[in-house]
Chains A and B, each alone.
Chain A
Amino acid sequence: MIGALRVARAAAELQFKEVAVSGFLLFGALVQPFFIGVMTMFMLRHRPDFDPVYVVVGAALSGVWSVLLFAGSSAISHERSLGTLELVVAAPASFVVVYGGKIAGTLAFSLVSVVLSYAIGAWMFGYPITIADPGSFAVSLVFALVALWATGMLFAPLGILWRTVGRFLGLMEYPIYSLSGFLFPILLLPIWTLPVSYLLPPYWAAVALHASARGDLGLAGLVRVWAVLLLTAAVLMLVSTRLFLAVLRQARRAGSLALS
């Protein structure tokens, strides 16, 4: 277990160093949430039910998800282009652990979006960004990162087997924003999309963060949301682990690890 944590930490450090100097991901972490935050503020601030904290939390989640999706989906193709994918797969450490560490490193980097979104609401627009229940919000934030991490892990195995799929995973950016209710309630979406939202850990992350920021759900309600969040994340983790093992075996069979 300690060995696996060491491997995950090393992979996280490596990934953090790689994404921190990537212009494309800096754009995702800084410029995109800035536009989303500012535009949403302008669009909604004259509405009577406007809640700046909701926009700040939603913009932060959007930024985190964008970085996670782009860095996560490109991590495999980046390893392919460097010629390191085979070396990592052929190492004794579990590839699932290595990739889990990489997603964790990406998440750590993406937290810059949270700070930026807060700055837009509090300093640029001058709204009081007060969190009703800071303790619950902190717990929700940690669980939200777990939820996003588990979702990011699901997409990676597909990119190992099918290079084309890996390149198109970025298209999942807006569907996850929308279906998870980062910036607007999912009740605005067609009714048939709701079951999909309920299966997504990021949806429960958004519910937990918005609710603990507003303080309108109570501790018992929040605990139920956290439980569902962790359950859906655990299911995704289980699926992605099985998928990783199956895909790596298939990649060894197809000889696709070295292809770039």
Chain B
Amino acid sequence: MNAIELRDIHRSFRTTTGTFRRHRKDVVALDGLSLVVPQGELFGLLGPNGAGKTTTIKILTTLLIPTSGSATVLGHDVVREAKQIRKRIGFVFGGERGLYYRLSGADNLRYFAELYEIAPREIGPRVVELLGLVGLTDRADERVEGYSRGMKQRLHLARTLLHRPEVLFLDEPTIGLDPIGARELRKIVTDLHASGTTIVLTTHYLFEADAMCQRIGVIDHGHLVALGTPTELKANVTDLGVVELEVFGVEPAAIERLRGLEFVDSVVVEQRELRQLVRVQTRLAEQAVAPLLAALGGAQVGRVAVREATLEDAYVRLVGRVE
């Protein structure tokens, strides 16, 4: 049995604009998304902001009803059989919210253990075990309001593991964490997957998806634009090399000139304080450096590097932009 099945899911939201004369507008979040995730897989869901990742997760966690289409989790329909699904899934939404700040970490876990109808005699040992797993044993009795962001994220993970979910949805779980905290969290997630838990992970960190996920789905504008293993996705860009140019105060017109070059596949500009990192995907690789510098005109250029394409480059080719 598949852990997750999405069939032609559509979901739109109604928004309003204007202060006095209000106009209603329907915004399409998912536009015919179909996807299957087998049990035991660690599946990555990638896409730019607004692509529909969180909407997908919320439909699968029974928090949203799709406008049309059908979705099942562990064989249960997300609309009609929400209660059966809720007992068997866990989810973490990225960020610090979702905890009772005036309570201690242990009290938060005990409360959610009751909401997940865990047997009374199991609650104490399970809370102790999970606090140990996420490294919060020493701070368990302190109020959550004094926790760092990383501690709150780890407490979220402990909260969602209380009832031993068979399917886990992690929506940007490492967002805002320091590198060590993020690495620790990734280790826990990898161990959970090794123990048989099906995991759906959304992230903006493509190296994270590359390192952890067995398969990746890329969604953009509400539908699936690519699906495969990280290796398969990267194979889409084996014909490309990437030239990275560090420039200072480059004009938009110069960037447009780069985009207009026949051998250039895509150009992404990343602002880094006073500098910009211009990332050019091109099939010419090293041979493209000289014409690219020429196209930049009089812009002041610092470091120049040429490298092989990564999953991020495959992603850029698919969705045409980075966040």
B103 nearest CB neighbor, chain A only: A17
Assess whether B180 is interfacial by the CB under 8 Å rule.
no
Q: How far is the CB of B222 from chain A (nearest CB, A)?
A: 14
Assess whether A91 is interfacial by the CB under 8 Å rule.
yes
Q: How far is the CB of A20 from chain B (nearest CB, A)?
A: 9
| Pair B86/A14 contact, Cβ less than 8 Å | no
B-contact bits for A1-33, CB 8 A (1 contact / 0 none): 001001101110010011001000000000000
Bound-state CA distance A87–B63 (Å) is: 9
| Pair A10/B111 contact, Cβ less than 8 Å | yes
| Pair A10/B13 contact, Cβ less than 8 Å | no
Assess whether A190 is interfacial by the CB under 8 Å rule.
no
B115 to chain A: which residues have CB within 8 Å?
Answer: 7, 10, 88, 91-93, 98
Assess whether A128 is interfacial by the CB under 8 Å rule.
no
B101 to chain A: which residues have CB within 8 Å?
Answer: 82
Chain B interface extent, by class: 20 to 34
A93 nearest CB neighbor, chain B only: B115
Our pick among B86, B100, B102 for the contact of A91 (Cβ within 8 Å) is B86
Our pick among B83, B97, B114 for the contact of A6 (Cβ within 8 Å) is B114
Given contacts A83-B98, A92-B87, contact A14 B103 (CB under 8 A): yes
A18 to chain B: which residues have CB within 8 Å?
Answer: 100, 102
Bound-state CA distance A21–B102 (Å) is: 9
A88 to chain B: which residues have CB within 8 Å?
Answer: 115
A18 nearest CB neighbor, chain B only: B102
Assess whether B117 is interfacial by the CB under 8 Å rule.
yes
Q: How far is the CB of A250 from chain B (nearest CB, A)?
A: 9
> 25 A-B Cβ contacts within 8 A?
A6-B114, A7-B115, A9-B114, A14-B100, A17-B102, A17-B103, A21-B102, A82-B99, A83-B97, A83-B99, A84-B97, A84-B99, A86-B58, A86-B98, A88-B115, A89-B63, A90-B61, A90-B86, A92-B87, A92-B117, A93-B115, A93-B116, A252-B62, A255-B58, A258-B63
Bound-state CA distance A9–B114 (Å) is: 9
Bound-state CA distance A90–B117 (Å) is: 13
Return the 8 tightest CB-CB contacts between A and B, nearest first. A83-B97, A10-B114, A91-B115, A83-B98, A93-B115, A92-B86, A92-B87, A252-B65
Assess whether B64 is interfacial by the CB under 8 Å rule.
yes
A-B contacts counted at CB < 8 A amount to: 79
Chain B residues at the A interface, C-beta cutoff of 8 Å: 13-14, 58, 61-65, 83, 86-87, 91, 93, 95, 97-103, 107, 110-112, 114-117, 120, 159
| Pair B114/A93 contact, Cβ less than 8 Å | yes
Q: How far is the CB of A62 from chain B (nearest CB, A)?
A: 27
B159 to chain A: which residues have CB within 8 Å?
Answer: 87
Given contacts A10-B115, A93-B115, contact A87 B98 (CB under 8 A): yes
| Pair A252/B63 contact, Cβ less than 8 Å | yes
| Pair B111/A255 contact, Cβ less than 8 Å | no
B114 nearest CB neighbor, chain A only: A10
Assess whether A257 is interfacial by the CB under 8 Å rule.
yes
Given contacts A83-B97, A90-B61, A255-B64, contact A6 B116 (CB under 8 A): no
A91 to chain B: which residues have CB within 8 Å?
Answer: 86, 112, 115-116
Our pick among B63, B86, B107 for the contact of A257 (Cβ within 8 Å) is B63
Bound-state CA distance A10–B64 (Å) is: 26
B-contact bits for A226-260, CB 8 A (1 contact / 0 none): 00000000000000000000000100111101100
Bound-state CA distance A50–B86 (Å) is: 58
A2 nearest CB neighbor, chain B only: B120
Bound-state CA distance A253–B68 (Å) is: 11
